[in-house]
Chains A and B, each alone.
Chain A
Amino acid sequence: NAGVTQTPKFQVLKTGQSMTLQCAQDMNHNSMYWYRQDPGMGLRLIYYSASEGTTDKGEVPNGYNVSRLNKREFSLRLESAAPSQTSVYFCASSGRAFSYYNEQFFGPGTRLTVL
């Protein structure tokens, strides 16, 4: 099992460009999440999907959109990238939302730089 995978690993964008970060999991998990990690700020939730067909905003959703394509895949889109979105982005998944069995498994991360 690959667990949680993310593409790309690195990306450099110019201000105003758009891009989509891809995430997939092969653990048959119901819930998936997107976080951003900035120095000294810890992990902050951008969006999550409790189950296939649903998505909800997290702590810092502005400037992002998401799509839960199917049970395995959850993508994050930046429509018009800004330097403030320079960060490391982690995707995660967990078995069941709103339950004790919610160990979140993280992907390897995407390091995004917006110039």
Chain B
Amino acid sequence: GENVEQHPSTLSVQEGDSAVIKCTYSDSASNYFPWYKQELGKRPQLIIDIRSNVGEKKDQRIAVTLNKTAKHFSLHITETQPEDSAVYFCAASNYGGSQGNLIFGKGTKLSVKP
């Protein structure tokens, strides 16, 4: 089955700097890659996703890139702000396969210092 590895597990940046979180996946059939943000004590919420037919997607200060050949995808946050502090989870899924469930990475705790 699918396995998703996420790095780093913790990341601390200064306000205004960029942050990059990387994930690798094992199943080459995976075709959907969402990123979730979870603030302390809250529920996970989708912030951006990418499908296997595109290599990059951007939404204001966040972007995701996908390298299908290397089977890895990354979340990029520019001009970080204190409210970006949270745990970020990547996930992978194979839609159209035997099951389309999301397999999550273990999360990255991002701290943005003012």
Contact = CB atoms under 8 A, between A and B. Distances in A.
Interface of A: 33, 40-45, 48, 56, 58-59, 90, 97-100, 102-104, 106-109
Interface of A is mostly: loop
A114 to B, nearest CB: 20
Interface residues of B, number: 26
Contacts of A59: 103
Contacts of A106: 43-45
16 contacts: A33-B101, A41-B106, A42-B6, A42-B89, A42-B107, A43-B104, A45-B101, A45-B102, A56-B99, A59-B103, A97-B100, A98-B95, A98-B97, A98-B99, A106-B43, A106-B44
Q: Which 3 A-B pairs have the closest CB atoms?
A: A98-B100, A42-B106, A106-B43
B8 to A, nearest CB: 13
B93 A108 contact: no
